[in-house]
Structure 1
């Protein structure tokens, strides 16, 4: 698949906290549809979409498929150690390029694209009942920013501090096409998705009848010797 390196940036970047930037409408309709098609292919395997089981026995309400590196609580591996042992699909170069362009646009720094080398993506599907508790993205060795793309139904995204899961926090709605970057002082901020707003996505734009897709691009800082 060939995608343009930079999205259309329909909205002006908005800083939620130092290093945390929201760009409304960064993905145009064509990019959204193409990403939905790609996510459907990734969800079919070689490691299919699954619900992650947590160490204490709970099961996450979102369904997840990984690219580049397979995430399971709380580590990355090249094979799906908690889902059949298959080798995870490669991270496509065009998706890494899209992440680089997203970071440059969010921070208004073209040079940021050259410094960013994402090597994994987590693709999460939220149905109308799914949510994500407050957590930190701290399983990566790299401190490079996390780039997050939203497609489909709007969600309420909750951004807290680095100190803990409780208040203070900021709630912001992430709609289809929105870009969010967590970097710098906000790289390890607690964050979550308390709820989805069903029926807010436009099937004519995304090709999705329901639910929300969230693609997060990350640098793990790992090498093949770690996998």
Structure 2
């Protein structure tokens, strides 16, 4: 594991997870996705997202024409979300030891061509708590701006096993994924990238 990097206030831990740890975490996430299948949500304007999503934890993030929010049940199966696996909890406890226990882990599945526009994570009630973001699979070009839309941004390639902590003054920074480097990792069956963001919601 390398020393942490700072990207406009976001702390990035390159290579935080070993290959064996990544494989174990992926197995946990495949179990989560078997219980709570990823879906491609639509924005409040009805536009389908290019990223498929699911969640684990007490609450899961959902998006549809009613807006962005957290719900206790999967929007299609109606079942409660599965519990957050210990492998994810361990990363939270290692990098956000002073934070409250995470209540949700949003799991984003990027296949080739998927991206995520600049956005803020602001649907949580307690914005003093950080977001811990884990990258698995193909490399992704991560872009971070300021807390207002527009203005300068900075970018870095995130690789499988990297972890970011978005907190403090950067908690409401606009951030997104511009593109995926398809085929840069053989971790995920069928290729692509999984990004997990652990959050305190209430």
Give the TM-score normalised by structure 2: 0.91
Kindly report the root-mean-square deviation, in angstroms, between the aligned alpha carbons of the 2 structures: 1.4
Higher strand share: 2
Please identify the structure whose Cα radius of gyration is greater.
1
Output aligned runs, 1:103-142, within 5 Å.
103=96, 113-142=97-126
Does structure 1 residue 211 correspond to structure 2 residue 195? Answer: no
1:174 aligns with 2:145: no
Match of 2:73 in 1: 79
Is there any run of 5+ residues in structure 2 with no aligned partner, and where? none
More helix by share: 1
Q: 1:63 aligns with which of 52, 58, 68?
A: 52
Preserved contact between residue 140 and residue 158 of structure 2 (Cα < 8 Å) = yes
- Give 3-state SS (helix, strand or coil) of 1:95's partner: helix
Aligned residues: 196
Q: Structure 1 stretches (4+) deviating beyond 3 angstroms?
A: none
Structure 1 alignment gaps of length 5 or more:
1-9, 104-112, 222-227
Q: CA deviation at 1:187?
A: 0.3
- 1:3 equivalent in structure 2: none
Whether contact under 8 Å (1:156, 1:171) holds in the other structure is yes
Shift in CA distance, 207/71, structure 1 to aligned 2, threshold 3 Å: closer
Aligned position for 1:109: none
How far residue 94 of structure 1 moved from its aligned partner, in angstroms, is 4.5
Q: Are the structure 2 counterparts of residues 136 and 177 from structure 1 closer, same or farther at C-alpha, using a change threshold of 3 Å?
A: same
Q: What secondary structure, in the 3-state scheme, does the structure 2 residue paired with 1:33 have? A: helix
Aligned partners of 2:8 and 2:154 also within 8 Å: no
Partner of residue 193 from structure 1, selected from 177, 191, 195: 177
CA distance in 2, matches of 1:155, 1:177: 12
2:16 and 2:161 in contact (8 A); partners too: yes
